Amino acid sequence: MKFCLLLGAVLLSVLLFGCVTMKIKIHYPKTATTNQVDVYHGITVKDPYRWLEDDNSAATKAWVEAQNRVAFDYLATIPERAAIKARLTELWNFERYGVPFKEGGRYFYYKNDGLQNQSVLYTLPSLESEPAVLLNPNKLSTDGTVALSGMEISADGNLMAYGLSVAGSDWQEWRVRDVRTAADLPDVIKWVKFSGAAWTKDGSGFYYSRYDEPTEAAKLTKVNYFHKLYFHRLGTPQAEDKLVYHRPDQKEWSFGGGVTEDGHYLIITSGQGTDTKNRVLYQDLQTPDAPVVELLMDFDADYSFVDNDGPVFWFKTDLNAPRHRVIAVDIRNPARENWKEIIPQAAETLTGVGVINHQFLCTYLKDARSQVKMFRLDGKFMRVIELPGIGSAGGFAGKRHDTETFYSFTSFTTPGVIYRLNLGTGQSREFRAPKLKFDPADYETQQVFFISKDGTSVPMFITHKRGIKIDGQRPTLLYGYGGFNISLTPAFSVGNLAWMEMGGVYAVPNLRGGGEYGEAWHQAGTKLRKQNVFDDFISAAEWLIANGYTTPKKLAASGGSNGGLLVAACMTQRPDLFGACLPAVGVMDMLRFHKFTIGWAWTSDYGSADNAEEFPALYKYSPLHNLKPGSKYPATLITTADHDDRVVPAHSFKFAAALQVAQAGPAPTLIRIDVKAGHGAGKPTTKMIEEVADKWAFLVKSLEVNPTLGGK
């Protein structure tokens, strides 16, 4: 009711003063330029904003402050913003649960009361017991910017190793807590990145991975090389941790350690950048000082360790199976001719495998929708687990002897409902469901297929309020990603719900580069084929227009990280196609991305400007290098954060500076730079509400959205 009243007041002001279409003269900060020039394979490329790469310089900090003043002053003038923020706060305030899991006979789960900045971790000895708080991250900082970034419970359920991230940084500090007392032990592990923790069976310590300590000035930008796997014994200082494995001859190799459920083996998975292929090594933990044995070192496929039956290791792999299958490798006879196929490749994409209740529980994607099947350990099919509907299912954790597991089921219109699955009968029953302040039945989702530029059929989910008139004038938000084998499946978002409540359409195409149809689909959107991803997104926009949903004037594009690159590339290639663009934490400089933090790892998807064959393709679509002065670009709100050490903010800084100079049209080109925030993980609820309110207010103004569109 409060939101309706606010919207009514806004509407009255629109009718009286026409404030939605009111033009505001923006005075952008003048960005200094330099004569920096680089030569790539005989091609001269100017980089006048190189100085913005130095996040520690006084000049860069002053530029950030000036740009933020312009952006926040502009956003503050949009009258609808207050109503949008109020409704977002109301919708966000609902109790929600994470998927429970069990360790050492105890249950653990996350819960958020509604507007808590960070979810709280609880534990209980049985499902009928009163839960106790194990860790409340909200008490670790006053503004919610310290987040729990990872945790692992020991096999007996008595100890928890947990990681903390400050201000959204990828750097983590790990500690140990006694589950029985909720008190911390003195152990502290620093400079951990891209790692979990793996306890030994006896709980004497855990394995983790880290980089060498950087300097304070370079910790958010310095390139990350030479990952190392360590073992930390409880009660000892980090300086005494044992270096288990590293490769000083291979600076790009990363390492992750995992201990088998029986405690017999340490499984070491070695990746190289973001390539889906990997290597596998192991160590016999039953033999003191046993050597690390190289098992799968050809780097020819993805080998995801599932479980072991003594010396027989099960792997999910895409070797000769782009949609994945399950194989068995006997480490006593590891030659390839001795490998056995347990579960063959299916028509659907196999995304996850676990061994629970002495059965394989397999999750699949069928046209980007979840499907769950169970098989015997010899690979014989048993049953399909019936899911509550069309959506995404996740969870399914457990041990081999467990007779139950839990999973979450969500869709574009329903937040996660937790189900308890009886593995003996295959029956699910609702365990926890959020209490909502809206009715999911008021919304509908359909899946369509459109044809991309080269004739490829691409699926797209379209969600909106049920019964709205599709009249060709609907404000429409097109969201995409298309990279790194990541699949976009139905997922609930409070922000998207508020957008649809205002009458907006929300569309999600499953672009090439993702993992929805296996490795072939992924590879079709990488390196020299990256343009396919942009063509898919552009074709999705054209389909929405051709099929009467919207017009370019009412169409917005949105995406983050690799999706931020997607949006920026598409707006430089087709500025006529969009009314507004929201590129978030994007990779904008495709010639220099590999020179910062973990950027080098993305060359498996993008290629590298250092490669003469790949440079022309990167240069052709790099957003920073394809802005054309004198062009009319859509209204653009770039978002980034000062502690983003995944995609360093210099990408967005340089793109914003170049866009403001190139823009010849009247549409605003702003950059919003969050402080004490990173790439996105662990962002406090308060910051998320503020950011979404700014984005939707920007779209309401830019697309000239009538705020009464919340009705039918």
CA angle 313, 315, 318 (to 5 degrees): 150
Under DSSP, is residue 348 helix (H, G, I), strand (E, B) or coil?
Answer: coil
Residue 659's pLDDT is what?
A: 98
Contact 56, 46 (CB under 8 A): no
pLDDT at 12 over 60: no
pLDDT tens digits along 620-678 = 999 999 999 999 999 999 999 876 677 789 999 999 999 999 999 999 999 999 876 55
- Taking residue 91's Cβ as centre, other Cβ atoms within 10 Å add up to 19
Q: What tens digit of pLDDT does each residue of 384-413 get? A: 999 988 899 999 999 999 999 999 999 999
Q: How many CB atoms lie within 10 A of CB 129?
A: 11
The residues pairing with 536 across neighbouring beta strands, listed in sequence order, are none
In percent, the amount of the chain with pLDDT more than 70 equals 94
- DSSP category for residue 701: H
Give the per-residue pLDDT at 10: 33
pLDDT in the model for residue 24: 66
Dihedral angle, C-alpha 606, 624, 36, 55, nearest 10 ° = -90
The separation between the first and the last C-alpha atoms of the chain, rounded to the nearest angstrom, is: 16
Q: Does the structure show a pLDDT above 50 at 449?
A: yes
Is the Cα dihedral 589, 590, 594, 599 positive or negative? positive
- The pLDDT score that the predictor gives to residue 627 is 98
Going by C-alpha positions, the residue among 637, 654, 646 that lies closest to residue 680 is: 646
Computed over every residue of the chain, the mean pLDDT equals 92
Distances in Å between the Cα of 630 and the Cα atoms of 70, 339, 658, 660, 663 are 22, 61, 12, 11, 6
| ∠ Cα 429 433 434 (to 5°) | 175
pLDDT at 121 over 80: yes
Q: Is the pLDDT of residue 710 over 60?
A: no
Return the pLDDT at 676: 65
* pLDDT number for residue 14: 32
Is a pLDDT exceeding 70 seen at residue 20? no
Tokens 């945790």 belong to residue: 151
Asked if pLDDT for residue 25 goes beyond 60, the answer is: yes
pLDDT of residue 600 exceeding 90, the answer is no
Q: What class has domain 2-90+438-704?
A: alpha beta
| Contact yes or no for 405/398 (Cβ under 8 A) | yes
Q: For strands 278-284 and 292-296, give the pairing.
A: antiparallel
Query: Has residue 709 got a pLDDT over 80?
Result: no
E strands, 260-403, are: 265-272, 278-284, 292-296, 303-309, 312-317, 325-330, 340-343, 349-356, 359-366, 369-376, 381-385, 392-395
| 15, pLDDT greater than 90 | no
C-alpha span between 158 and 105 (Å, rounded): 10
pLDDT score, position 17: 28
Pick from 594, 598, 595, 662: nearest CA to 625: 662
Q: Which two tokens stand for residue 458?
A: 């691409």
Closest C-alpha to 479, from 711, 190, 695: 695
The pLDDT of 418-430, averaged and rounded, is: 94
Of residues 185 and 194, which shows the higher confidence score?
185
Place of tokens 């100890």: 159
Within 13 Å and on the Cβ side, how many CA atoms surround 301? Answer: 18
Instruction: Name the helix (H) or strand (E) containing 687.
Output: helix 685-702
pLDDT at 224: 84
Is the backbone of residue 577 left (phi > 0), alpha (psi -120 to 50) or beta?
alpha
Strands 417-422 and 476-479: unpaired
Phi first, then psi: what are they for 537, rounded to 5°? Answer: -65, -45
- Give the mean pLDDT of 369-384: 96
Instruction: Show me where the domains of the chain are located.
Output: 2-90+438-704, 349-435
Any residues with CB less than 8 A from the CB of 548 and at least 6 apart, and which?
A: 470, 471, 472
Catalytic machinery residues: 561, 679
Q: What is the DSSP secondary-structure string of 272-289? A: ETT-S-EEEEEEETTSTT
Retrieve residue 449's tokens. Answer: 């297929």
pLDDT for residue 679: 60
Task: Please give the Cα distance from 265 to 400 (Å, whole number).
Answer: 16
The tally of CA atoms less than 13 A away on the side-chain side of residue 135 is 29
Cα–Cα dist 315/198, whole Å? 19
Cβ burial 400-417 (10 Å sphere, 16+ → b, else e) = eebeebbbbbbbbbbbbb
Asked if 105 contacts 155 with a C-beta cutoff of 8 angstroms, the reply is no
Could you give the residue ranges of the DSSP H alpha helices within 375-510? 494-501
Does the pLDDT of residue 682 top 90, yes or no?
A: no
Pairing state between β 476-479 and 457-465:
unpaired
The pLDDT of residue 259 is 98
Q: What are the Cα distances from residue 430, in Å, to 407, 409, 427?
A: 10, 10, 10
Average pLDDT over residues 576-597: 96
Question: What does DSSP assign to residue 201?
Answer: T
Cβ-in-10-Å burial (0-12, 13-18, 19+) of 68 comes to middle
